[in-house]
Structure 1
Amino acid sequence: MRFSLIAATTTSTTPAFTQPPNQVCATSYWNSTLKIVAGYTGYPSSALTRLYYPQAVTFDGYRYMYVADYSNNRIMRYNPGSGLASTGKVVAGYTTSGGSGSSQLNGPTGIFLDLNRTLYILDNLNYRVQKWIYGQPLGFTVAGGRGSGTTLDKISTGQGLFVDDQSIVYVSEIGNDRVTRWDNTIAGVIVNIIATNVVYVTNRSF
């Protein structure tokens, strides 16, 4: 959402958004009518108008929608007001076959977007979290990336992701029944141990 600031001289400017990217207005109400805003029911493919097993969704302050397109190994961005079979733009993961390179993803299951539109991606089958700065062709690893395992320098099968305002990364691992915290180090710290599988960490930035 954009706001114009009017000065005494009637000069106006539109600043960058300062609200969290996925904050819901307190007076919101919900339309009970279903509307498809990306993809096409029952027709998965790698086309830019399609999705294939999408896993996570979030929004930025300009109402662009971001989708973790799991089986296409990419993150898609959609314009505000997108609908059925709208054409999306690939913003991370540039080969649908997947891979472990800096420009590639392999089965992304979680995404988090900060106020600068920097993406943090839970790159599930690479057992890592990738940080992808807005507009850049490559991401870099900020957690994991050393294969699957139970030691604190590794991430097992992951499901949810959160990043706080200190850029500390939290990952819920259903494969290890734990949540780990990564403080810009090469190893995580267990912050919670769950008796049964962790489902997700809520993707909120406030």
Structure 2
Amino acid sequence: MESLSNIIVATKTNGKILQEKRLSIPTKTTRNSSVKVKRTSRPSINQNRIRQSTVHVQKVPRPSSNKVHAQDINSLSNNQKNISGLANDHKNRSLSMGDQNKTHDAFVHMQQVQLQVHPQRHQPQQLQQVQAQAHQQRVTSTTAATFSSCNSLRWNQTGQIVAGTTSGSNANQLKNPSCLYIDNNNTLYICDHDNNRIQKWIQGAITGVTVAGDSTGTQGSTSTLLKTPIDLTFDTNGFMYVVDNGNNRVQRFASGSSTGTTVAGTTASTNALTDLKQPTAIDVDNNSNLYILDMGNTRLVEWAQNATSGTLLISSSTLNNDYDILLAPNSSNQIYISDQGAHALYLWTFGASTPSMTLQPVNDSHNTLNNQMGMVLDPYGNLYVADRDNDRVVVYCANSTVGIVVAEDNNSVPSLKKPVALAFDSDLNLYLLSTNNGQVVKLPRI
């Protein structure tokens, strides 16, 4: 059947219409014809096919190198806000496919930046890659809530002893241990505080090997001796840094060497920036800059490589009974501080006189922390703390200020009482260092 269609022809000069003509031309149409709209589908995150209209997804840019730039940090901050907002209403509605992809890209970007900022203390690089891949395989929901991983992480409450027997000074014993670190090979490094030594414990071993300090527990201030070591960490080059609390210094040990080099502080204990006074915690960035909690001077200082004095980052009377520090993964100028005396965790910006955030509430009958001590971050930015006098482990999920109990002592065997330090291995099994019996207990992930 034919019909007439009108076409208007306009003549334009310099953007103005000078003349219009209306033309009528015959066209053919088919009765009962229909227009088919092509619909596309793409797999959801759990690989189920979802019918969905075509969408345009704006990809979140990824870092072009291993170096973290300011724009990456800003992008991460915005991405975290987006993820948090999406998670808040996931119970009431499903995300559109565009939101799913944006959220997924933002989460992956967040992981990349987090792991780049601080790979050694948070998790070794090889460990991070394994954990990130394992996490991707476990994602089964299309909502943003799964991306936090906080709700899906569980550990068996019946643990197994992997280091230590009873309190003592033999090679198979620990005495008032204070710190725990796990390397790429799942080897444990333990600050054997009262035995003045650092013990290396290979997986499956029944005894430890002394890698710093005297194996018999002799204390001293020479390059081969320690006095009440309280914390340690490793840099990306494999150097071990030990906070030699009783000697007011930080000692650096090359791999395989038991002779230390003083890289921060002296044997003096003044408030000069060349000295430290009862330092209690340490962290290190990718450039091997050291961040030291100088508790006796109520301050946080940074020591660059080969520096002869520190740079003041935070000075506050609040820092008079603090136990541990962790560089924040989503910032270049913030740090987590475990304030044992105030029963709180702080997120503190360098140069500020007060913390920008305080973490203290816990969603439990014991609704606050109690003399909490060591901290650790998982690959997803969730913060775990050893809540010592509540005999439990509490996690503060990324972007949350209320803690969740993930492990606690219920007269269990082995005991989980008095945890002071935490660590993860390559399978994200959780390790607790207990001062109650001088043991390290492994809680398998389930």
Q: Place the TM-score, normalised by the shorter chain, in its bin.
A: 0.7 to 0.9
- The residue number in structure 1 matching 2:312 is 190
- The residue number in structure 2 matching 1:131 is 252
Does residue 33 of structure 1 match 2:158? yes
Choose from 323, 328, 342 the match for 1:199: 323
Where do 5+ consecutive residues of structure 2 fail to align? Answer: 1-118, 136-152, 327-374, 380-446
Where do 5+ consecutive residues of structure 1 fail to align? Answer: 1-18
1:53, CA displacement in angstroms?
0.8
Cα distance in 1 for residues equivalent to 2:162 and 2:251: 26
- The residue number in structure 2 matching 1:164 is 285
- The residue number in structure 1 matching 2:199 is 76
- The residue number in structure 2 matching 1:89 is 209
Cα deviations by residue, 1:54-107 (Å, 9 ceiling, x for unpaired):
01000110100000111111100111245xxx2001111125111011111111
Contact 1:55 1:68 in 2 (8 A): yes
Cα distance in 2 for residues equivalent to 1:101 and 1:75: 15
Choose from 47, 59, 67 the match for 2:182: 59
- The residue number in structure 2 matching 1:104 is 225
Does residue 141 of structure 1 match 2:262? yes
Contact 2:229 2:246 in 1 (8 A): yes
- The residue number in structure 2 matching 1:5 is none
CA RMSD of aligned residues (A): 2.3
1:21, CA displacement in angstroms?
6.7
Equivalent residue letter for 2:213: G
Cα deviations by residue, 1:116-171 (Å, 9 ceiling, x for unpaired):
43210000001000000010131100000241111111101111101111111111
Structure 1 pair 75–30 and aligned structure 2 pair: CA distance change class (3 A):
same
Contact 1:44 1:50 in 2 (8 A): yes
Cα distance in 2 for residues equivalent to 1:204 and 1:130: 22
Range 58-67 or range 143-152, more displaced? 143-152
Cα deviations by residue, 1:11-52 (Å, 9 ceiling, x for unpaired):
xxxxxxxx6475263536422213222112xx3221000001
Q: Identity, % of aligned pairs?
A: 32
Number of aligned positions between the proteins: 184
1:195, CA displacement in angstroms?
3.0
Contact 1:178 1:192 in 2 (8 A): yes
Equivalent residue letter for 2:323: V
Helix, strand or coil at the partner of 2:173 = coil
- The residue number in structure 2 matching 1:15 is none
Cα distance in 2 for residues equivalent to 1:138 and 1:103: 5
Choose from 151, 173, 184 the match for 2:272: 151
- The residue number in structure 2 matching 1:12 is none
Structure 1 pair 176–99 and aligned structure 2 pair: CA distance change class (3 A):
same
Contact 1:128 1:143 in 2 (8 A): yes
Larger helix share, 1 or 2: 2
- The residue number in structure 2 matching 1:6 is none
Cα distance in 2 for residues equivalent to 1:21 and 1:134: 17
Cα distance in 2 for residues equivalent to 1:115 and 1:60: 11
Structure 1 pair 81–112 and aligned structure 2 pair: CA distance change class (3 A):
same
Equivalent residue letter for 1:76: Q
Contact 2:121 2:284 in 1 (8 A): no
Cα distance in 2 for residues equivalent to 1:36 and 1:112: 23
Structure 1 pair 181–111 and aligned structure 2 pair: CA distance change class (3 A):
same
Cα distance in 1 for residues equivalent to 2:154 and 2:376: 19
Cα distance in 2 for residues equivalent to 1:134 and 1:200: 24
Contact 1:21 1:59 in 2 (8 A): no
